[in-house]
């Protein structure tokens, strides 16, 4: 699937600020499942953008706005080609044999947003009871988290703990991811947090032109380590394996390592609010040439109606 993505964030302040310093993580990575075709960042007020790759392998775009301003707008435009995630070649044995080594150990330890107690650990043990493969255990945890939690937009904030999510049994995508990570790690399965974009079209629209564009937010899912050093993506919020509709930005121990945008500024003003969103559109490509197909009659009619 080829997608055009626009990430847009606008900060407004109730007074004048200056010397804001910011770090953006919005660039899709290139890996075995996806290829980044183009990427650009625009900042208003204008600022010089410089980039580096962080410890976890994610590109960070940094910029500072020295001049006085009351609003900051950041736009990141991408074009990405994605494909279906392959299945793990080796389902692995369960319970696990041996201990992870090297950097994988970092994805076993608790982290600021992934702390668990005995209740969470017992819940995980119950979820995988009777499983004989690692892949089966990973799927069982995903199913258990999906059954436990209800998706409620705005029900939590970034600072909510795994214990609070477990108690209230509701949350958003980052809560599903953090709880899943807590369970996987409590079971000894290396697992990491993924930040990205999800092309979440309304299935009822079918092939209608309206299905080719969506307004969404950044999304979160997880990856678990399977034999052969294969990181297998699972989306606990939607109860899916990661597919061509998922676009990965980067990964880390939890949300803190791949936060889309963070920054500081100088001044007495308070932040009046943040408006953030993601616009995604997909290209209707011919599978043989990978070029855009000619518009269908239905699509041409729709475009004519819009122009009238």
Domain ranges in the chain are: 2-83+260-307, 102-197+217-256
Any idea which architecture 102-197+217-256 has in CATH? Roll (3.10)
What is the average pLDDT score of the chain? Answer: 90
- CA 203/CA 151 separation, integer angstroms: 18
Q: Is the pLDDT of residue 284 over 90?
A: no
* pLDDT attached to residue 97: 77
Mean pLDDT of all residues in 130-136: 97
Contact between 36 and 80 (Cβ < 8 Å): yes
Q: Is the pLDDT of residue 59 over 80?
A: yes
Q: Which residues pair with 38 in a beta bridge?
A: 79
Contacts of 287 (CB under 8 A, 6+ apart): none
Contacts of 55 (CB under 8 A, 6+ apart): none
* pLDDT attached to residue 270: 77
Q: Counting Cβ atoms within 10 Å, is residue 257 exposed (0-12), middle (13-18) or buried (19+)? A: buried
List, for residues 144-160, the tens digit of each pLDDT value. Answer: 999 999 999 988 888 89
**Type and span of the H or E element at 10:** strand 2-24
Give the CATH fold of the 2-83+260-307 domain.
Answer: Immunoglobulin-like (2.60.40)
Confidence of residue 209 (pLDDT cuts 50, 70, 90): low
Confidence of residue 96 (pLDDT cuts 50, 70, 90): confident
- CA angle, 295 as apex, 289 and 296 as ends, to 5°? 110
Confidence of residue 206 (pLDDT cuts 50, 70, 90): low
Question: In the chain, what percentage of residues exceed pLDDT 90?
Answer: 79
Helix (H, G, I), strand (E, B) or coil at 128: coil
């Amino acid at each position: 699937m080829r997608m055009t993505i626009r990430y847009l964030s606008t900060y407004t302040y109730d007074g004048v600020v200056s010397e804001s310093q910011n770090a953006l993580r919005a660039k899709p990575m290139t890996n075995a499942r996806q290829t980044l075709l183009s990427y650009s960042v625009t900042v208003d007020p204008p600022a010089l953008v410089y980039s580096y790759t962080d410890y976890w392998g994610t590109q960070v775009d940094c910029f500072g706005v020295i001049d006085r301003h009351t609003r900051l707008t950041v736009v990141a435009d991408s074009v990405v080609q994605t494909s279906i995630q392959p299945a793990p070649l080796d389902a692995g044995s369960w319970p696990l044999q041996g201990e992870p080594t090297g950097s994988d150990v970092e994805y076993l330890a608790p982290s600021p947003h992934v702390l668990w107690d005995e209740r969470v650990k017992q819940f995980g043990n119950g979820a995988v009871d009777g499983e004989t493969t690692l892949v089966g255990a990973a799927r069982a945890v995903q199913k258990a988290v999906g059954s436990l939690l209800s998706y409620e937009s705005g029900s939590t904030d970034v600072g909510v703990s795994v214990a609070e999510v477990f108690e209230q049994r509701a949350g958003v995508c980052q809560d599903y991811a953090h709880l899943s990570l807590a369970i996987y790690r409590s079971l000894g399965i290396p697992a990491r947090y993924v930040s990205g974009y999800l092309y979440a079209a309304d299935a009822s629209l079918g092939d209608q032109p309206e299905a080719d564009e969506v307004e969404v937010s950044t999304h979160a899912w997880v990856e678990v380590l399977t034999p052969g050093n294969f990181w297998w993506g699972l989306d606990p919020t939607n109860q899916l394996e990661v597919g061509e509709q998922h676009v990965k930005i980067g990964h880390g121990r939890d949300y803190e390592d791949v936060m889309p945008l963070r920054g500081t500024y100088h001044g007495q003003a308070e932040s009046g609010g943040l408006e953030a969103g993601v616009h995604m559109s997909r290209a209707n490509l011919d599978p043989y040439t990978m070029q855009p197909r000619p518009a269908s009659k239905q699509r041409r009619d729709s475009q004519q109606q819009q122009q009238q």
